[in-house]
Structure 1
């Protein structure tokens, strides 16, 4: 978490290496930031890009007391991908599907190349996000949250990110009904399995699915499409 008043102080690993006069290769191997007493990152522990508060790291390197950070309980506090996903009560890969929504993308804050979102924005989206309809589909007359013509592209991106993604994950990320999520996800998997079987003639359906990372539990619908329709393209609803 990063307080917006301190975003200009944030340091990356590369900047820390320069601050310490250390070649990046040495910095990566020695990991001086992992020693006891070094200031904790202001990014989440599992973040792809670790970030630190520069005032804290400068004090540590100078042998001075490390200053305290401001309270991090306000709506203005900036959250990285993992933190935002946790606040939204979803997995990070599901958050990846959310973040292109204008209600989030218009508020994203770039800090050292890493997207962050104000906690208040995350909460507002979480409390009003689509995908809260009944488990069997959206209410009658309610349109899909994803515009016509974009659904396959959006689901493709999510499937690329996580081959084992579930129908529930698609619905949570895109706000579509169960039947729509099931149909498009099965179609994309069937197309990819069929394409791999054509290029690798020795592959069976299950071998192709294994190669693509699709677990057995999610294959049935794709298998039926491949067997009965040759994986013909199903248009967006």
Structure 2
């Protein structure tokens, strides 16, 4: 994470801070040297970021300033870290991040999306609370904006893999056909992802591991197999 009040840089900015051209940086890979400051990116991140204060101190031969140890609402968290705060899987963040409560606060550092810890906590506290737009009578159509619906469906599945379309209708105010379509799509995507993670795993077995009851997964299993076969 990027601690509050600190600046993080990616590889190209790191090269600039070290006074290296990009080709020289790529050839020498100074960040791999012993004693070089550790990245502040989350574990397993594909794009690495470093704390600029630590980088300049290392460059100048000064002691590296420690990162603040306490959590702060202004800390910037990437996708994996945001998932920990919200107690969901990282792929759920891909759906949630279109919600204005997160989208309006995204901060891109080194090409990586981050969100303030305080914003994530506030989002988590209100996640799942729905209010119908004013002036829309009950039964007049889908009550959740279309672009936010995948995130809401993902939340319901995170909370209960056996969630039914009827429950989604009650909670989200969408039509039965819309709830069925989106639940099938999300279950299929998760089944296919499980199959991709574990080659040789059959769609039915993946659905079992994910906790999807047989009566609710038939269409999703078929769709997941098609998704898997395409890749």
Same structural fold, with TM-score higher than 0.5 when normalized by the shorter chain:
yes
Shift of 1:168: 1.2
What TM-score do the two structures reach when normalised by structure 2?
0.59
SS in 2 for 1:85: helix
Correspondent of 1:168 among 157, 167, 171: 157
Shift of 1:33: 2.8
Distance 1:150 1:214 in 2: 31
Residue equivalent to 1:47: 45
Residue equivalent to 2:10: 12
SS in 1 for 2:113: strand
Question: Pairwise mapping of residues 160-199 of structure 1 onto structure 2 (< 5 A)?
Answer: 168-169=157-158, 177-178=167-168, 183-185=180-182, 188=185
Distance 2:3 2:60 in 1: 23
Correspondent of 2:99 among 91, 98, 101: 101
Distance 1:191 1:16, change over 3 A: closer
Superposed CA RMSD? 4.4
Shift of 1:112: 2.3
What TM-score do the two structures reach when normalised by structure 1?
0.58
Distance 1:61 1:107, change over 3 A: same
Is the contact between residue 57 and residue 63 of structure 2 (CA under 8 Å) also seen in structure 1? yes
Shift of 1:71: 3.9
Residue equivalent to 2:24: 23
Distance 2:221 2:204 in 1: 17
Shift of 1:182: 6.7
Count of matched residue pairs: 184
Distance 2:64 2:187 in 1: 56
Distance 1:127 1:58 in 2: 38
Shift of 1:20: 6.4
Distance 1:51 1:170 in 2: 32
SS in 2 for 1:184: helix
Question: Pairwise mapping of residues 16-165 of structure 1 onto structure 2 (< 5 A)?
Answer: 16-18=14-16, 19=18, 21=20, 23=24, 25-27=26-28, 32-130=30-128, 146-147=144-145, 149-150=146-147, 154=150
Distance 1:188 1:98, change over 3 A: closer
Distance 1:56 1:88, change over 3 A: same
Question: Pairwise mapping of residues 200-211 of structure 1 onto structure 2 (< 5 A)?
Answer: none
Deviation string, structure 1 residues 26-82 (Cα, Å, up to 9, x no partner): 35xx5x434442212122122231100122122223332111223441111111111
SS in 2 for 1:6: coil
